């Protein structure tokens, strides 16, 4: 049984990653189009190209991590090695240089590629650690729940504080909006550095696995792994759902909700209804969902839980389209955001736990310890979802006639949008995510690793590992006697 300290320490790792990832997913598109000064088309191509490279590099990192040997283990040392470059690249990503348009576009490509590369360098080994810190399938779900609970906690801190933090630097120091965003990222980056180091210090790798096949066969077995393909498809849909909604929120609030909307608390007063509050409350609701994952998955099974949650997401997303723009409507938006976020909170640890099951399935069937390669595919699905979702939002807005402030010669100030762009924003918050969630239900309905199947795999794999350990012990004893 793992110690509470280890579970908390493991959670710190994704707390750091998620603080960066949510800022990238939700604010980087509007940063590029409304502050940095790129066109919507160029920003969309940038997001797509860099994240596709990032996704393609994930399996490479997984293979490298699988074959790393240190006194700290296979995957854990990368938390220490990559933490500082991770923080530095995040700051560079939100830096606006005084260059021509072409120069700024090159800067954006270079810094985004660097950021996503170091993100892969730390996040893929971190994810693969779930396969070697415990051998128990249920405890993997617990670890995964701690991971996502802290991840959403970090996301809440980053999203809720981001706009006030940037405003603080802009007002107190009198700097430009672009510089205030850079300084805000400096604060986030320092916090991430500390969290990654804490994760390294508080965790241990307890299971030693050795791949007995070549890299080529690792890939061959991965591509013939049917549960992996289905889970990749379902996870891609899930991440696409999150990215489309998340990347739209800043635009939705800027151009539809406006800067003067408030939530009415009666005699307690009003609270400004802004994108950071909307997203931050969603992160808290995500944490509630994470806490519900273990009992729900234990009761209904992972596959059934996945399907039920996504059906609920379809319904809630469609309802969002029907909410009126009024004081009551703002409260209904918050309610739907809470319910949707509880559902996505259940999904996140569930997906990571299902990847651990797929890893066990591969080890039993193909006799290959390719945990890093399999978990890198989960990161790949996340990034493909982010790439497609982020680019799609920008390109759809451009196709619907969305006008960026820079195009009007007014940097980072709202402009009147055509009705076609307004309608597009509503669809991006409702029907389009609903369609993606429905597709996830269809894909995972074919997923073969039911609860009974996973339990059988764990039992047989435990026996296999015991035999292998006994053989290693006998060989070691034989060599000692020979000496």
Cα-Cα-Cα-Cα dihedral sign, residues 406, 408, 413, 419: negative
H/E run at residue 229: helix 226-252
Structure tokens, 298: 């234990």
Q: What is the DSSP letter of 130?
A: G
Name which of 142-156, 165-179, 183-197 the model is least confident about. Answer: 142-156
- If one counts every other C-beta atom within 10 angstroms of the C-beta of residue 297, the result is 24
CA 191 from centroid of its chain's CA atoms: 18
The candidate with the shortest Cα–Cα distance to 363, out of 221, 223, 230, is 221
Return d(Cα 314, Cα 319) in angstroms, integer: 9
Rounded to whole angstroms, the maximal C-alpha distance in the chain is 85
Query: What is the predicted pLDDT for the residue at 412?
Result: 46
pLDDT of residue 481: 64
**Does the pLDDT value for residue 185 go beyond 90?**
yes
> Residue 439, Cβ neighbours under 10 Å: how many?
18
**Contact between 240 and 22 (Cβ < 8 Å):** no
* pLDDT mean over 59-66: 83
Per-residue pLDDT, 384: 74
pLDDT reported for residue 96:
95
- Surface-to-core class of residue 217, CB atoms within 10 Å of its CB (0-12 exposed, 13-18 middle, 19+ buried): middle
**Which is more confidently placed, 51 or 294?**
294
Average pLDDT for residues 171-196, to the nearest whole number?
94
Query: Which is nearest to 289 in space by CA: 246, 241, 353, 348?
Result: 348
Give me the torsion for CA of 289, 290, 292, 298, rounded to 10°. Answer: 130
CA 158/CA 17 separation, integer angstroms: 11
Residues 6+ apart with CB under 8 A from 28: 47, 93, 390
Beta-sheet strands, E only, within 241-334: 262-264, 270-272
**DSSP 3-state of 168:** helix
3-state secondary structure of 214: coil
> Considering the chain, what percentage of its residues have pLDDT values greater than 90?
42
How far apart CA 215 and CA 218 sit, in angstroms, is 5
Whether the per-residue pLDDT at 377 is higher than 80: the answer is no
Distances (CA, A) of 92 to 43, 47, 110, 191, 442: 17, 16, 10, 16, 40
Q: Is the pLDDT of residue 291 over 90?
A: no
Q: What is the pLDDT of residues 461-483, one digit of tens each?
A: 777 766 766 666 666 666 666 65
Per-residue pLDDT at 408 exceeds 50: no
**Which range (60-74, 212-226, 451-465) has the least confidence?**
212-226
Compute how many other C-beta atoms are within 10 angstroms of the C-beta atom of residue 413. 11
Token pair 């923080």 is found at: 87
CA distance 267 to 86: 46
Q: At what angle do helices 77-93 and 101-128 cross, to 10 degrees?
A: 160
- The answer to whether the Cα torsion of 281, 427, 239, 51 is positive or negative is negative
Query: What per-residue confidence (pLDDT) applies to 473?
Result: 62
CA dist 480 and 475 (Å) reads 9
Q: Which residues in 463-474 are b (16+ Cβ under 10 Å) and which e? A: eebeeeeeeeee
Residue 387 has pLDDT above 80, yes or no: no
Q: If residue 308 lies in a helix (H) or strand (E), which one and from where to where?
A: helix 302-321
Residue 10 DSSP code: H
Question: Residue 429 burial by CB count (10 A; 0-12/13-18/19+): exposed, middle or buried?
Answer: buried
Residue 411 pLDDT > 60:
no
310 contacts 459 by C-beta, under 8 angstroms = no
- What is the reported pLDDT for 409? 43
Per-residue pLDDT band for 12 (boundaries 50, 70, 90) equals very high
- State residue 476's pLDDT score: 64
Q: For each of the domains in the chain, give its residue range(s) and CATH number, in order of start.
A: 4-449 (1.20.1250.20)
Q: Using the 8-state DSSP alphabet, how is residue 262 labeled?
A: E
Assign 272 to helix, strand or coil: strand
> Is 169 or 458 the better-scoring residue by pLDDT?
169
Residue 93's nearest CA partner among 69, 109, 74 is 109
d(CA 429, CA 340): 11
123-167 tens-digit pLDDT: 889 988 987 888 776 788 788 888 888 988 898 889 888 988 998
- Return the top range by mean pLDDT from 2-11, 206-215, 259-268: 2-11
Q: What is the structure's pLDDT at 410?
A: 43
| Confidence grade of residue 248 (pLDDT, cut at 50, 70, 90) | very high
Concatenate the DSSP letters of all residues of 45-71 into one string.
HHHHHHHHHHHHHHHHHHHHHHT---T
Continuous segment of H or E residues that includes residue 334: helix 327-366
- Across the range 219-233, mean pLDDT stands at 80
pTM of the model: 0.72
Using the predicted structure, report yes or no on whether residue 17 has a pLDDT greater than 60.
Answer: yes
Structure tokens at 331: 């409260």
């Amino acid at each position: 049984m793992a110690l509470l300290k280890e579970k908390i320490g493991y959670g710190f790792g994704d707390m750091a990653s998620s603080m960066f990832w949510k800022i990238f997913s939700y604010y980087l598109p509007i940063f590029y189009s409304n502050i940095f000064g790129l066109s919507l088309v160029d920003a969309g191509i940038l997001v797509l190209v860099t994240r596709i490279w990032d996704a393609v590099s994930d399996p490479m990192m997984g293979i490298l991590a699988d074959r790393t040997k240190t006194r700290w283990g296979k995957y854990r040392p990368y938390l220490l090695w990559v933490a500082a470059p991770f923080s530095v690249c995040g700051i560079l990503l939100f830096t606006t240089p005084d260059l021509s348009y072409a120069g700024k576009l090159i800067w954006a490509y270079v810094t985004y590629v660097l950021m996503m590369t170091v993100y892969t360098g730390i996040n893929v080994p971190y994810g693969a650690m779930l396969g070697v810190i415990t051998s128990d399938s249920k405890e993997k779900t617990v670890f995964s729940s701690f991971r996502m609970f802290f991840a959403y906690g970090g996301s809440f801190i980053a999203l809720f504080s981001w706009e006030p933090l940037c405003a603080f630097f802009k007002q107190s120091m009198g700097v430009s909006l672009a510089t205030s965003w850079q300084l805000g990222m400096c604060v986030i980056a320092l916090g991430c550095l500390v969290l990654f180091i804490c994760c390294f210090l508080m965790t241990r790798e307890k299971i030693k696995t050795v791949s007995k096949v070549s890299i080529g066969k690792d890939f061959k077995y991965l591509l013939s792994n049917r549960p992996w393909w289905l889970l990749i498809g379902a996870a891609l849909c899930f991440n696409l759902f999150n990215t489309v909604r998340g990347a739209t929120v800043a635009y939705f609030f800027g151009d539809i909700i406006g800067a003067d909307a408030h939530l009415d608390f009666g005699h307690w007063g009003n609270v400004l209804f802004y994108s950071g509050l909307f997203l931050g409350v969603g992160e808290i609701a995500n944490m509630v969902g994470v806490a519900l994952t273990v009992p729900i998955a234990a009761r209904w099974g992972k596959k059934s839980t996945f399907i039920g949650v996504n059906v609920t997401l379809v319904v809630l997303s469609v309802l969002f389209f029907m909410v009126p723009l009024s004081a009551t409507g703002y409260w209904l938006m918050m309610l739907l955001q809470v319910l949707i976020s509880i559902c996505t909170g259940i999904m996140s640890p569930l997906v990571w736990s299902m990847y651990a099951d797929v890893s066990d399935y591969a080890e039993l069937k193909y006799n290959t310890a390719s945990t890093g390669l399999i978990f890198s595919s989960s990161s790949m699905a996340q990034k493909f979802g982010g790439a497609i979702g982020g680019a799609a939002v920008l390109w759809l807005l451009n196709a619907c006639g969305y006008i960026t402030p820079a195009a009007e010669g007014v940097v980072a100030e709202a402009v009147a949008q055509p009705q076609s762009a307004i309608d597009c924003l509503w669809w991006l918050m409702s029907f389009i995510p609903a369609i993606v969630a429905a597709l996830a239900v269809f894909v995972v309905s074919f997923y073969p690793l039911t609860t009974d199947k996973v339990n059988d795999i764990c039992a047989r794999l435990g026996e296999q590992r015991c035999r292998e350990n006994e053989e290693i012990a006998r060989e070691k004893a034989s060599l000692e006697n020979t000496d």
